[in-house]
Amino acid sequence: MVVFQEDLCKGCSLCVDACPKHILQISMTRINKKGHHPAECIDQEKCISCAFCATMCPDCVITVER
Amino acid sequence: MTVFKKPHALTDAPFHYCPGCTHGIVHRLVAEVIDELGIEGKTVGVAPVGCAVMAYDYFSCDMTEAAHGRAPAVATGLKRANPDNIVFTYQGDGDLASIGTAETVHAAARNENITVFFINNAIYGMTGGQMAPTSLVGQVTQTSPYGRDPSLCGYPVKICEMLGELEGPEYLERVAVNNVKNVKTAYKAIKKAFQNQIDGRGFSLVEVLSACPTNWGKTPSEALKWIDTAMIPYYPLGVYRDRTAGILPDSFKEGTV
């Protein structure tokens, strides 16, 4: 599963592009402390813990657990 | 079980970089390698002038700041004074390839036992997107609004190829951080560059093709694609010099003068 430290997210969506399971998206309904729409996971069950999202995240927002 | 978390060699300070700026990825890779090699306690980094000027806030090893472009000279002093330390510099293209070209070339020519990370994003990021020596031909920037014209501004500087022709340097590689595969390759290159210094082999430079979505006027995703379509064709990835492994430019091969 992926855990987002949401207040660090700048909504660049590089994790969304990298996810092979297409379970990440930019939340258009929420805003974080920085004023960005943060990335979120829509289906933790489908996560395969490949850490591609965390590899491409420029801001170390994502922790990946198995 | 944790598969991936922020490396210990990075502090908790949030990066000030723009959304989608790949400086953050390179910072993390350097920190991951410092963690893996277990050298955080004896590593000293030299921060540049440019977007990464505040890198000293982000790495938890010792850091110092150099005058614009002079990071390899400062690193030379640090390494010679304390040869047990592991010294790296982290420089952008305005720092290393423009104002600091002389320091870079001579540190490489002397085969100084330091590690240099060169972040090439083909533009001056911090000052607002002016043309850099590494800007591509035809690239639109603040100071080349009709695209870079080689008859007026010359051609982009290829640092790895240029330094490869010197007798001195041990290891030169160009990598990119625009997709997962390239990030993994970049990690290996950065690790090798640190390992060379630990083994006392000499000057290692890793050039990282990096994105600047803000000043390129692209979204972060488009910017990463632009690295693939525009930058990599002009700046081919690969190892340009690895003396220990016998990888040298053609001009050094037997049979050529």
Which pLDDT tens digits describe chain B residue by residue (257 residues)?
999 999 999 999 999 999 999 999 999 999 999 999 999 999 999 999 999 999 999 999 999 999 999 999 999 999 999 999 999 999 999 999 999 999 999 999 999 999 999 999 999 999 999 999 999 999 999 999 999 999 999 999 999 999 999 998 999 999 999 999 999 999 999 999 999 999 999 999 999 999 999 999 999 999 999 999 999 999 999 999 999 998 888 888 776 55
List, in order of start, the domains of chain A with CATH numbers: 2-64 (3.30.70.3270)
Structural domain for B205, as ranges = 23-252
The residue with tokens 């070209």 is B101
- Residue matched to tokens 């081919």: B236
ipTM of the assembly? Answer: 0.96
Q: Are the CB atoms for B25 and A58 separated by under 8 Å?
A: yes
Give the whole-angstrom CA distance, residue B113 versus residue B148.
36
| CB < 8 Å to A56, chain B | 25, 179-180, 183
Give the distance from residue A4's alpha carbon to the nearest chain B alpha carbon, in angstroms: 11
| In-domain check, residue B11 | no
Q: Which residues of B118-128 are buried (b: 16+ CB within 10 A; e: fewer)?
A: bbbbbbbbeee
| C-beta atoms of A14 and B4 within 8 A | no
Q: What is the CATH number of the domain that holds B106?
A: 3.40.50.970
Asked whether residue B257 is assigned to any structural domain, the reply reads no
Cβ separation A11–B19 shorter than 8 A:
yes
Over its C-alpha atoms, chain A yields an Rg (Å, rounded) of 11
Packing angle between helix B23-37 and helix B180-198, nearest 10 degrees?
Answer: 50
Contact yes or no for B19 and A56 at CB 8 A: no
Answer whether A59 sits within 8 Å of B6, measured CB to CB: no
State the total domains in chain B: 1
Does any domain span residue B17?
Answer: no
**Is residue B9 situated within a structural domain?**
no
Is B103 within 8 Å of B72 (Cβ atoms)?
Answer: yes
3-state secondary structure of B176: strand
Measured in degrees and rounded to the nearest 5, phi and psi for residue B88 equal: -130, 155
Cβ atoms within 10 A of the Cβ of A61, count? 25
Among B155, B67, B81, B160, CA closest to B117 = B160
Q: Tokens representing A59?
A: 């801001």
